[in-house]
Amino acid sequence: MKILIVRVGAMGDVLHALPAVAALRDARLDWEIDWVVDPRWAPLLVDGEGRGPVVNRVYMAETKLWTKSPVSFATLRSIRALRKALRRGRYDLVVDMQGTLRSAVIGWMAGAREFVGYRDPREGLAAKFYSRTVGRRGVHVVEQGVALLGEACGMSLEPGAVDLPHEQWADAWTEELVGGRNLVLLAAGAGWGAKRWPVEKFGALATEMRALGLSAVVNASRADDALAAEVVARSGGAAEMVVCNVAGLIALMRRVSVLVGGDSGPMHLAAALGIPVVALFGPTDPARNGPWGVGAHVVIRNPRSVTSYKRVEVDAGLAGVSVAEVVEAVRRVV
């Protein structure tokens, strides 16, 4: 049996799909399970040599290029190359675990005998491409993904333990960076503004962490990351910015004592790795998007927060979460 998973991004979305695919891998060791993903998130699935603990192979969907230059020759070549590679795979089943029009088109390009997706995908037009649809079951997105994949494959699945690739260079880099320190990682970013706890509070939190014997680091994907730099500035030097790619972040996360952050990729990464998490929620529902994993997690959500979608302005309830509340939550998990 050859199965193709379509979950292109982003980080948190890929991590939320992994428990389902890990469960399928455990149940069917002889099946070939491949995945289409954005190159930025491939390190969550395979190492630099293309080897991973869950999937046999990944295909790269260069969605950043497609969005930036939708009518360019480079985009056309990229899409054609992906389609050709997927067709060569001769898949028995494709499962769209993302539910967007783009992911549906990507899955359709594989030309599989069966293409399964949600009956109510995130973007309604996606369902037009499926040969079979499945009703959404479960509250948390991880539970929904497990139910979708299990029904698509005709079996009952329970969420599997997530195992992420190791990169030797990243482990060595992290060992040198961390030394003997106990780290708290402050994940100040998020996909949209309403999900971000105010930077001045992250800065104040970094100074408070010293009393708990924790050194604060702020992750950044680029050296010119303005948000991370502002947290460091607001901390008066108590926080340190650490610039790393996804492979480096995985290695770093394995060495931190606790993560504090909102509904973001790094928060979900920490949870997947069993790192204690203090999750600060505002406009998204923690019952659906909260930390999933075996670690000690505390979710803080102000009653004033109202579930909404993609607003720029900071959620009033999230902004009202005090530094003292977060410090007390950190005390409970470290």
Domains of the chain, CATH where assigned: 2-153 (3.40.50.2000), 168-333 (3.40.50.2000)
Residue 136 and residue 145 in contact, taking contact as beta carbons nearer than 8 Å:
no
pLDDT tier for residue 312 given thresholds of 50, 70 and 90: confident
Work out whether the CA dihedral 153, 113, 123, 25 comes out positive or negative: positive
Residue 273 and residue 294 in contact, taking contact as beta carbons nearer than 8 Å:
no
**pLDDT surpasses 90 at 308:** no
CA 294 from chain centre, in angstroms, equals 16
- Please provide the distance, in angstroms rounded to a whole number, between the alpha carbons at the two ends of the chain: 44
pLDDT tier for residue 328 given thresholds of 50, 70 and 90: very high
Residue-level pLDDT at 309: 79
DSSP string, 229-285: HHHHHHTTTSEEEEE--HHHHHHHHTT-SEEEESSSHHHHHHHHTT--EEEEESSS-
Q: What average pLDDT does range 283-296 have in this prediction?
A: 93
pLDDT digit string, tens, across residues 197-215: 999 999 999 999 999 999 9
pLDDT digit string, tens, across residues 11-37: 999 999 999 999 999 999 999 999 999
pLDDT digit string, tens, across residues 140-176: 999 999 999 999 999 999 999 999 999 999 999 999 9
| Mean residue pLDDT across the chain | 97
Residue 153 and residue 5 in contact, taking contact as beta carbons nearer than 8 Å:
no
